[in-house]
Structures are given as structure tokens and as C-alpha cells.
Structure 1
Amino acid sequence: MEFNCNLATHVKTVHQKLAPFKCTHCNRSFGKKESLKRHIMTHTGERPHECTTCGKRFIQLVALQSHARVHNNLGKS
């Protein structure tokens, strides 16, 4: 059942190019509510993921994880 739901979302957003979630700040549209929520953080300045080493903050966890490699690779030559 979940597969069908994900497939339906994929078809609507990718193939039919539907984007029902609109940003109230800039009118940009998104196919997924989560994408809109993440985008709104670019307007609000919210960055919920913080690097415990240097304090730099990120909107997406994956960006923090990528950033952490900078610290992990500093001691290696």
C-alpha cells in the first residue's frame, strides 16, 4: 500500500509536474509538503541541525553530515 502511495506522489510531482504547496514568501511551488517546509527555512533563517564541533548550523541533516567530514578529515594527510 505504501508503495502505491509513493508511486502516486511520484507520478503527480515528477510526471504531471503538480506542485500544490506554495511558499507564501516567494510564491515558489513544491510537490511535497516537506519540501516546502524545508524551503521556508531559507526565509526564516531556521537551521535546526548544529555541528557539535564548530557550531555551524544547517537546514538539512544531510548537509550537517557532509560538513562533519571536514572535521573528520582535518587530522588526516
Structure 2
Amino acid sequence: MIDGRGLLFSVLQIFMHKSAMQMHAREAAHRTEVKPHQCQQCLKSFSSNHQLVQHIRVHTGEKPYKCSYCDRRFKQLEPRPATHAPSHR
């Protein structure tokens, strides 16, 4: 317990650079994030239903977004592959 707040630390970590400590803090926050939306096929969990819907396209192969210049289709509206847009300039 630290400072009487009930925080438990399993490992003491020492960081040589402030940026490494900040990255560790961000990663730790993601590990404790509640992710109630779970894929029924692979059991991967997501924090929002929108993320789950996008992920399910990995399993179904659905590509609902079409390029307005050609017939190529995409799983996500943005970002599109950087190699695609230059072909229409």
C-alpha cells in the first residue's frame, strides 16, 4: 500500500527517461480499461461497440466503403491505405 490509498505495486520499475515512464503509464491505463464489447468469434474485447463492429469485418471480409474514383473497397472509411490515393492524382 502506498500513501494509504490502496495502490498495490507488484514490481518496482525505474525509468531512465521521463518519456519511458509516460509510455508505461499510458500502456498501464489501457490494460485496466473496461472493454465490455467482445467478439464472439475470437473473444477479443473492445471499449466501444463501434470498434467491435469494425473488428468483426476482419472475420466477415465485409468492405462497405468504396473509393469514389475506382471499384476498390475498404473495411474502414478512414484511414485508407496511403498507397491508394496517389493513383487517382
Whole-Å Cα distance in 2 between the matches of residues 36 and 69 of structure 1? 27
Aligned to 1:25, the other structure's residue is in SS state coil
Within the alignment, does 1:39 sit opposite 2:49 as a pair?
Answer: no
TM-score by length of 2: 0.55
Equivalence for 1:20: 36
1:50–1:64 contact (8 Å) kept in structure 2: no
Q: Which segments of structure 1 move beyond 6 Å, counting only runs of 4 or more?
A: none
Specify which of 64, 69, 83 is matched with residue 48 of structure 1.
64
- CA root-mean-square deviation: 2.4
1:45 Cα offset (Å): 0.6
Whether the 8 Å CA contact 1:41–1:47 is kept in 2: the answer is yes
Greater relative contact order, per chain length (Cα 8 Å cut-off, separation 6+): 1
Aligned residue pairs, count: 61
Question: Please, which runs of 5 or more residues in structure 2 have no aligned partner?
Answer: 1-28
String of CA shifts for 1:2-58, please: whole Å, max 9, x gaps: xxxxxxxxxxx8584100000001000000000000000110010011123332211
Q: Percentage identity across aligned positions? A: 31
